[in-house]
Structures are given as C-alpha cells and as structure tokens.
Amino acid sequence: MTNQLLQPIDYDYRPASYWNLQNLGQVVANIKGAARKKTALRLIDEALLDEAGAVTLTDTLSEEERDLAGKVHPALMGGEYLPAYEASEVEIARITMASITQDVISIRAYPTQGRIGYRVVDEYNSETRVKPEHSKRPLSLRQLIRLIDTAESNELGPIGLGIIQIQFDCTEESAESFADFMQFTSEFYPDLTRHYWLATRSWVDQNRKRRAER
C-alpha cells in the first residue's frame, strides 16, 4: 500500500469514453447500492462474477427489495434511493459516507447534443451546481476533481471534503475521527481514490493544527 501511495498520480488521465466500456468494473458502474456494488467489484477482483446473483448485479432494486434490505440493516439502503438514471447516463464517480444509512453522492455523465453533460445527485433530491456542466470529451482526472471540489448542494453545501469540514467545525470531535468518513471511488478513474486518500490526510493534519492553535 505504501509503495502504491508513493506512485505519481496522472492528473491528465482521461478515459477514452464513458460508453465504450474497457473493463468489467465499468460494466457494474451503475449499480446504485453501495453494498451491492462493493460485492460486485470484489467478485470481479476474485474472478467470481459468474457467482453473483441477479439482485447483486441489477442497477436498481424494486421498492420491495429496497425495503427488505433496509430491514436487514440500515447501511444496506446506501445508494439504493438515488434518482433513476436518464437515457444512456452513467455514474463516473461516487462519494460514499460512513453514515448509519451509508449515504451516497453520485457523479454522472450523459450524452447531450454531441457533448457530454454532467450532474451530481444524492438520495435527498438535492439540487447541486456543477462546473463544468458540459464538455466535448471525457474529463481529465484533474477536471473531475475540480468538479467535485467546487460542486455545491442546496442540502449538503459543498460536496467533497467540504462535507467533513462543515461537520468538523460544528463539533468538538477530533480531525482524525473524520479521516475515513468519506470514500471516493470511480470505475473510470483509477487514481481518484488515492488522490482523496492523500487529500483527506492533508485535511486531517491542517485541521488538527488549526484546532490546537485555538
């Protein structure tokens, strides 16, 4: 893990397409449920995807299936109540929070008039402003990070690390207690998780010092 973290991140990397899928991970990108997607990706890593049931691999559960999952454990509802996908829309990244119900924010791309449109959705029907709203080709990793870091929801406020900043400023909890609250993942940008792992550690250091100086 340490050697991997020390490898340089290619912030200019961009996928060739969001629709010409290059790997099995991208095939399951639109699974809404956080727990179900983790299971599908684990099975892919173990070359056992053929053993996955239909419920695991479906993008969207039925209302009855969602209710049943919630009765088993609240965390199993995470992501299941995200808005429906528009035509040809694909999730290019997501933020999963270690809340009781494992809340998910989904960053999506969709084709529109020869361009690519972007929107950010969550399970509370928030309106989120994003920049850019459109691009001619898939975003570079740098551009995706900028979209996440500058997006702002009318319900949650800033997304990205802004979410834990607001919570940290409103409590007396240590900065370290927020270190693993948010997980950033993408089936299209392999280094997104590593970027935010490093960014979160930097955030912890800065806020630990800031609170110590009060």
Could you tell me the mean pLDDT of each successive run of 10 residues in the chain, 214 residues long?
A: 70 97 94 96 94 93 93 94 96 96 96 96 94 97 97 88 92 92 97 96 93 79
Instruction: Report the pLDDT value the prediction gives residue 5, as an integer from 0 to 100.
Output: 61
* Residues forming a β-bridge with 112: 115
Residue with tokens 């898939």: 138
Instruction: Report the pLDDT value the prediction gives residue 120, as an integer from 0 to 100.
Output: 97
Cα separation, 112 vs 192, whole angstroms: 25
Structure tokens at 105: 């924010």
The pTM of this model reads 0.92
Instruction: Report the pLDDT value the prediction gives residue 3, as an integer from 0 to 100.
Output: 57
Peptide bond into 138 cis (omega under 30): no
What number of CA atoms fall less than 13 Å from residue 154's CA on the CB side?
A: 6
Q: Any idea where the domains of the chain sit in the sequence?
A: 2-212
Instruction: Report the pLDDT value the prediction gives residue 24, as an integer from 0 to 100.
Output: 92
Instruction: Report the pLDDT value the prediction gives residue 157, as an integer from 0 to 100.
Output: 84
Instruction: Report the pLDDT value the prediction gives residue 156, as an integer from 0 to 100.
Output: 78
